[in-house]
Amino acid sequence: MSAPGPLLRVRDLCVTFPARRGRPPVRAVDHVSFDIEPGQTLGLVGESGSGKTTTGRAILQLQPASGGSVRLLGQELTAMRRADLRAMRRHMQFVLQNPYSSLHPRMTVAQILAEPLTVHRSVPRERIPERVAELMTLVGMDPKVVHRYPHEFSGGQRQRVVIARALAVNPDFVVCDEPVSALDVRTQAQIVDLLHSLQEKLRLSYLFIAHDLAIVRAVAHRVAVMYGGRLVELGDAARVYDSPAHPYTRNLLDAVPIPDPARQRAKLAEAAPEPQFRGRDGETGPCVFGEDHAASGTPAWHEVAPGHGVSCRFWPPGACPGQELPRI
């Protein structure tokens, strides 16, 4: 358990959704690998449908993985028995996107927060009200309101309750799936601040899934960029933002609106190219960096700097490393 190493280690995680009604099976997550160190945040960004949420759910074993390994605190989760997995959930929690639907509408806040405590028997029954009040204070809410129902709260307050529920059992790792995208902008900043201060206080690790690049930059130590179920770039947040190495990351960063109407209009006029990526499994020959991975037996992943890597198989045709993506 106390073996040195990352808190979470994900290797070659794959999720395949079975074929339905004549459509071929969909590989939603395709050989995704990354580590998260204790007390660190990995930001996972990408467009809708790139497999971010599925990755998060597969790590939490809410979605069966079709391959690969997920190790939390040194324990393999993908092959774990049901009862062991339930016990393991004490260490990993989930903050869902929509605070309006992720709380039971007929349970009071006190009942919602007590549930994880009862399930994991983390505090004696008579101490539960005390712990619930403590949790409310932790997320900046008044412990007096615990007997109200979720619909009596605003979106931001509900998300605080969702966070309190996730923290009830003192987890080490929390998957935050777009935790602020359903909230208004002012509330977003408050929730991001809260997550940040909780991380420092409790030494939490986050997998922070978002499509808002500015928020990810504010919270993440490292950033992973997903496209089409694949990780295309992974590195320290500052490096990925300042010197993106993969054409798709550059595209994504370009998509952030410029707060100048004239320049933004000009940018929209020249429509961004829809990235057409080549390269799937089993491709032979040299990669975009000119290395033959099939021959050398190394993964199709290139380090452009220490700790900063890009996928070298998954590239738009005609683009070369270090070169701007050709505009159409």
Partner 1 sequence: MVAIGFVMLAALLAIVILGPVIAPYSPSKTSPGSLAGPSAAHWLGTDSIGRDVLSRLIIGGRGTLLITVVAVAIALAAGLVLGLVSGYVGGRVDQAIMRVLDVVFAFPVFLLAIAVVAALGPTLQNLILTIAIVYTPTLARVVRGPVLSVKRWDHVEAARSVGVGEFAIAIRHVLPLVVSPILVQTSLTLANTIFTVTALSFLGLGPPPPDPNWGSMLAEARQFMELAPLTVIGPAAAIVFASLTFIVLANGLREMLDVGSR
Residues 216-275 that bind partner 1 (CB under 8 A): none
Q: Which of 28, 42, 58, 60 binds partner 1 (CB under 8 A)?
A: 60
Q: Are 190 and 27 in contact (CB under 8 A)?
A: no
Q: How far is the CB of 61 from partner 1 (least distance, A)?
A: 9
Q: Which candidate, 115, 181, 109, places its Cα nearest to that of 139?
A: 109
Q: How far apart are CA 72 and CA 172, in angstroms?
A: 9
Q: Which of 19, 62, 268, 295 binds partner 1 (CB under 8 A)?
A: 62
Selected from 14, 119, 189, 294, the binder of partner 1 by CB under 8 A is 119
Should residue 115 be labelled a site residue for partner 1 when binding is judged by CB under 8 A?
yes
Among 7, 77, 103, 234, binds partner 1 (CB under 8 A): 103
Does position 93 interact with partner 1 (CB under 8 A)? The reply is yes
Q: State how beta strands 75-76 and 301-305 pair.
A: unpaired
Residue 206 binds to partner 1 (criterion: CB under 8 A): no
Mapping DSSP onto H, E and C, the string for 54-101 reads HHHHHHCCCCCCCEEEEEECCEECCCCCHHHHHHHCCCEEEECCCCCC
Q: Which of 7, 110, 139, 162 binds partner 1 (CB under 8 A)?
A: 162
Q: Is 121 in the site for partner 1 (CB under 8 A)?
A: no
| Least spacing, CB of residue 159 vs partner 1, in Å | 12
Of 21-29, 102-110, 198-206, 207-215, which segment contacts partner 1 by CB under 8 A? 102-110
Are residues 210 and 42 in contact, defined by beta-carbon separation less than 8 angstroms?
no
Considering the rule CB under 8 A, would residue 19 count as an interface residue with partner 1?
no
The 8 Å CB, 24+ separation contacts for 301-305 are: 304/235, 304/245, 305/235, 305/239
Question: Minimum CB separation from partner 1 for residue 104, in Å?
Answer: 5
Element (H, E) at 11: strand 8-17
The residue range among 91-99, 194-202, 212-220, 262-270 that interacts with partner 1, by the rule CB under 8 A, is 91-99
Q: How far apart are CA 161 and CA 283, in angstroms?
A: 48
Q: By rule CB under 8 A, what count of residues binds partner 1?
A: 27
Nearer to partner 1, 164 or 213 (CB): 164
Chain positions 133 to 152 lying near partner 1, rule: CB under 8 A, are: 151
